[in-house]
Amino acid sequence: MMPRTPWTLLVLLSAGLAAPAAANDLLPPNAKAGECYARVLSAAQYQTEDVTMLKKEASQRVEIIPAVYETVSETLTVKEPTSRLEVVPATYETVEERLMVEPEKIELIEVPAEYGWEEERVLVKPAHTVWKKGRGPIEKLDGSTGEIMCLVEIPAEYRTVRKRVLASKARTEERVTPAVYKTVKRRVQATAPTTRTVEIPAEYGTVNVRKLVTAARTESIEIPAEYQTVTQRKIVSEPTLTWRTILCETNMSAGVVAELQRTLNAQGYDAGSSDGVYGRQTADAVAAYQQKKGLATGQLTLETLNSLGVSARIGG
C-alpha cells in the first residue's frame, strides 16, 4: 500500500473521466485517463555572478624631509679700541660675553605603528539535523514491518581565529635640540689715562656659526585603493508546486515497486527488501534520491522513475 502524504492526490480513473483542467486551476492540465497526478515541489534555480569588492582602502604614506643647515663665519669684536697715556697708562678689566654658536633645532622622528592580536569565533559548520535509526518497539506501516527513524540535531561547529590588528597608527614626533652657546672674554678699559693718550685699535675674532637654511617638513604620498572580484550565488527562480504524473495505488504494480527497490539499493539508497511493497523505508529512499538529483519531491513521479531507469508498467 502507498502511504498517505500531505500533497493533494488526484486519481483519474480510466472509466472515461476526462477532467476539464482548463476550466479549473485546482486540477492538472491536459490530464489523461488512467493516470495519476499530484502537486510536487520543484527546487529553486540559481546562477552565479562576479562582483567587484573593495579589498583595501586608499591610504597615505608620510615621508619626512630633513632640515638643511649651512655654516657661516661671523666676525666678533674681541677687544674694544682703547687709549693709553704715556705717563699714566690706562687700566683694563676682563668681561665675559655669552654668544650663540649653534641655534636651537627641531627634528621630526618617525614612530612606527604598533599592532596587537584579537581572537574571533568563526562558524565552521552550522547546526543541522539528520535522520538516524532509532531503537524501540517494532511498528507496522501499511502491512509491512518498518523501523523507527529519529531526527537528530547536530550542533554547530566553531573555531577561534587569531588576527593581527592595529593598536596605534604610525606618527611623527618632534625632538628639540637646544641651542649651543660659547662664553668669550674681552678686555675693556677700566680707567682712562691721566696724561697723553695713545690710541689702541680694536681687536676682532672670527667664529663659525651653523644656521638653518630650510626647515624639516613632511610630504604625504597617496596610495590608491585595491579591489578584488568575488563570485556570488543568487536565486533565479523560487521553488514552485507543479502537477506531475506519479505512481499511486491505481497504477502501481508490485513488479514496478520491486524493480524500484532493487535499483535504489544498487545505487546506495536503502529501500529495504525487494518485496514489491511501497512502505515508509522505500518512500524515504525515493525522497533521498530526489533531493540528491535535484528532482521534484513529495511523490513518486514518473520523472524519478525515468531518472532511475525503471519502467512504469501498468497492472498487477
Q: Read out DSSP for 4-55? A: P-SS-EEE--TTT----GGG-TTS-TT--TT-EEEEEEEPPEEEEEEEEEEE
User: At which residue does the C-alpha cell 597617496 appear?
Assistant: 222
User: At which residue does the C-alpha cell 536565486 appear?
Assistant: 235
Give the type of residue at 60.
Q
Mean pLDDT for the chain overall: 78
Answer yes or no: is pLDDT of 1 > 50. no
Phi and psi torsions of 268, nearest 5°:
90, 10
Q: CB within 8 A of 50, min separation 6: which ones?
A: 229, 230, 231, 232
Beta bridge partners of 209: 72
**H or E stretch at 281:** helix 280-293
Answer yes or no: is pLDDT of 134 > 70. no
Residue 181 grid coordinates: 652657546
Any idea of the CA torsion for 296, 302, 307, 310, to the nearest 10 degrees?
150
Q: Reduce the DSSP state of residue 236 to 3 states and report it.
A: strand
Answer yes or no: is pLDDT of 32 > 70. no
Please tell me the distance from the alpha carbon of residue 164 to that of residue 115, in angstroms, as a whole number: 7
Label residue 49 by pLDDT band (50, 70, 90).
confident
Answer yes or no: is pLDDT of 228 > 80. yes
CB count within 10 Å of CB 9 equals 16
Answer yes or no: is pLDDT of 147 > 80. no
Q: CB within 8 A of 137, min separation 6: which ones?
A: 148
pLDDT digits (tens, 9 = 90+) for 252-296: 788 888 999 999 999 999 999 989 888 899 999 999 999 998 888
Residues 86, 79 contacting (CB under 8 angstroms):
no
CA angle 302, 305, 306 (to 5 degrees): 85
Which strand ranges, in their side-by-side order, compose the sheet holding 240-246?
9-11, 36-42, 240-246
**What is residue 209's predicted lDDT score, i.e. its pLDDT?**
83
Please tell me the distance from the alpha carbon of residue 303 to that of residue 32, in angstroms, as a whole number: 17
Angstrom distances, CA of residue 168 to CA of 120, 171, 282: 20, 9, 64
pLDDT above 70 coverage of the chain, percent: 75
Chain mean position to CA 99: 64
Domain extents for the chain?
61-110+170-222
Answer yes or no: is pLDDT of 140 > 50. no
Q: Reduce the DSSP state of residue 284 to 3 states and report it.
A: helix
Label residue 33 by pLDDT band (50, 70, 90).
very low
Angstrom distances, CA of residue 171 to CA of 31, 59, 166: 79, 14, 13
**What is residue 38's predicted lDDT score, i.e. its pLDDT?**
66
User: At which residue does the C-alpha cell 604614506 appear?
Assistant: 61
**What is residue 210's predicted lDDT score, i.e. its pLDDT?**
85
Give the type of residue at 45.
Q
Q: Reduce the DSSP state of residue 295 to 3 states and report it.
A: coil
Describe the crossing of helices 280-293 and 254-266 by its angle, rounded to 10 degrees: 60
Of 114, 119, 111, 78, give the one whose Cα is nearest residue 95: 78
